[in-house]
Amino acid sequence: MMTTLKKEMTILENGDIATPKGFEAGGLHAGIRKRKLDLAWLYSDVPAVAAGVYTLNSFQAAPLKVTQDSIKVDGKIQALIVNSGVANACTGEQGDKDALIMRDLMSKKFGVKKHHVAVASTGVIGELLPMDKITAGIAQMDRAAQTSDMFETAILTTDTKEKRACVQIDIEGKTVTIAGAAKGSGMINPNMATMLSFITTDATIEKAALDQSLKAITNQSFNMITVDGDTSTNDMVLVLANGKQDHTPLNTAHKDYPLFEQALTFVCQTLAKEIARDGEGATKLIEVHVSGTAHDESAQKIGKAVISSNLVKTAIHGADANWGRIITAVGYSGEPIDPNQVSVKLGEITVVNHGVPVSFSEEEAKQYLQQTDVSIDVNVGDGPGEAYGWGCDLSYEYVRINASYRT
Annotated binding site for substrate: 157, 183, 194, 280, 402, 407
**Rounded Cα distance, 302 and 386, in Å:** 10
> What's the one-letter identity of residue 330?
V
Q: Which of 194, 201, 218, 270 is catalytic?
A: 194
**Beta strands in 202-255, from DSSP E residues, in sequence order:** 236-241
DSSP SS3 for 72: helix
Bridge partners of residue 118, in order along the sequence: 80
Binding site residues, as ranges?
157, 183, 194, 280, 402, 407
CA neighbor of 224 nearest in space, from 233, 232, 216, 212: 216
Sign of the CA dihedral with 365 first, then 369, 373, and 377 last? positive
**Rounded Cα distance, 392 and 273, in Å:** 10
Half-sphere exposure of 360 (CA within 13 A, CB side): 23
DSSP SS3 for 123: strand
Residues 6+ apart with CB under 8 A from 372: 283, 284, 285
Interstrand relation of 163-171 and 349-353 (parallel, antiparallel or unpaired): unpaired
Residues 6+ apart with CB under 8 A from 53: 192, 193, 214, 215, 218, 222, 236, 237
Residues in the chain, total: 407
* 194 assigned to active site: yes
In angstroms, the Cα distances linking 200 to 19, 48, 237, 265 are 9, 9, 11, 13
Biggest CA–CA distance in the chain, Å, is 68
Please list the active-site residues: 194
